[in-house]
Amino acid sequence: MTDRRGFIRQGALALAGLAAFSVSCSPFGLFSSGNDFKKWIWLNPETGLSAGKWKSRFEMMKSHGIHGVLAQVYAARVALYESRNLQVGENLLETLIAAGRETGIEVHAWMWTMPNNNPFYAENHPGWFAVNGLGQPAHTHPAYVPYYKFMCPNQPEVREFLKQNVSELASYGNLAGVHLDYIRFPDVILAETLQPKYGIVQDREYPEYDYCYCEVCREQFKLKTGLDPLKEMDDPALSTEWRQFRYDSVTSLVKEVLAPEIRKAGKTVTAAVFPNWENVRQQWSQWELDAYFPMLYHSFYNKGTGWIGEQLETLTKALVKPVPVYAGLLMQALSPAQLTETIRMIREINAYGYSLFAFHGMNEAHWVVIEQH
Ligand SMILES: [Zn+2]
């Protein structure tokens, strides 16, 4: 076992060396040296708790080795921070940042990106929403669930709206970074175990789940290729170029609009991303962010925990720029024994760490494992 570990580490070092040679601007190797292993947690915070309660929660997390909290402060409708543009609830971000500062935990603002569930926008900007292959916009015909009201990543006004969102968040003092979630299209194919839940079989890409066929997207694609994907292609689902166009639509939004705006304020930019990125048009290997948190929720894909390690290694090696990749772990699908085994595996492949989904899914036994591993 020791020999095998040594061999894997040597391999990882060789890879890291190669990566450092080709991407000299990044301080990171593809894999970790072991000293910078970090533990993160996603937090869906409740409102109405006192600052003292948050501080004691953060103290508890710190004592179990948590390095950073990804706190959901915008889930496509109400901002839990001061905002000029959005409907505002409690200013929870301020409280969480203070708790982080007092306890030595990094706080990152976790925000939903493409969905927009504030009725104001459906009423006043219906043109912002993504349109499926049947011509139905996401605000009137959301796929799968009512909150799948995704906007189009190519509409200039949507880009401006999102730019303002990240700019407001990034301007918070003592905030470590902005964590982008739902930075993608709706799933054109759902994860295996979710399909029966919605009573559907997705053996190929079907137009009702395939986005975006709005005027702006079609025009931009036509400029590039001479073809209108809706009217001049027999089966757009089979077109490699059209698929790549959707990947590039999200990539350019991230690289040209969101990341620069967040970095301008001196903050890091990270994202929660899919392992099966093709199904949500999310080619994150190309984004050049500061870190990634792939949601390696094995049970969604009918896989065992070994799949988590395989995916983590494969996805890390695919990055154009080496930065830390943290394994997103679904707590409800991991017994304490499985969690222990999974973290050992993550350490064995010299990954940078893991992130727990989520704070409210943790039980006492999970916390004991986290403290020890
Ligand atoms: Zn569009």
- Return the number of other C-beta atoms located less than 10 Å from residue 277's C-beta: 18
Burial (CB count <10 Å: 0-12, 13-18, 19+), residue 52? exposed
What's the count of helices (H) and strands (E) in the chain, helices before strands? Answer: 12, 10
Rounded average pLDDT over 89-100: 97
Residue 250: in which H helix or E strand, if any? helix 240-252
Phi, psi of 367 (to 5 degrees): -60, -35
Over 90: is that where the pLDDT of 14 sits? no
Query: Is 132 within 8 Å of 209 (Cβ atoms)?
Result: yes
Strands 327-330 and 353-357: parallel
- Whether omega before 358 lies within 30 degrees of 0, making that bond cis, reads yes
Taking the C-alpha atoms of residue 92 and residue 80, their distance in angstroms, rounded to an integer, is 5
- pTM given for the model: 0.93
- CA 265–ligand 1 middle distance (angstroms): 29
Q: Which residues have CB under 8 Å from 240's CB, separation 6+? A: none
Q: Does position 85 have pLDDT exceeding 70, yes or no? A: yes
- 260 C-alpha to ligand 1 centroid (Å): 22
Confidence of residue 33 (pLDDT cuts 50, 70, 90): confident
User: How confident is the prediction for the chain on average, in pLDDT?
Assistant: 93
Instruction: Kindly give the distance from the C-alpha atom of residue 170 to the centroid of ligand 1, in angstroms, as a whole number.
Output: 26
Separation of 248 CA from ligand 1 center, angstroms? 12
What distance in angstroms lies between residue 213's CA and the mean position of ligand 1's atoms? 6
Q: Please give the average per-residue pLDDT across 1-24, as a whole number.
A: 41
Express each pLDDT in 246-268 by its tens digit: 999 999 999 999 999 999 999 99
The torsion angle over the Cα atoms of residues 301, 305, 306 and 311, rounded to 10 degrees, is 50
In tens, the pLDDT along 305-362 reads 999 999 999 999 999 999 999 999 999 999 999 999 999 999 999 999 999 999 999 9
List beta partners, residue 150.
115
Which residues sit with Cβ closer than 5 angstroms to ligand 1, an ion? 152, 154, 212, 214, 217
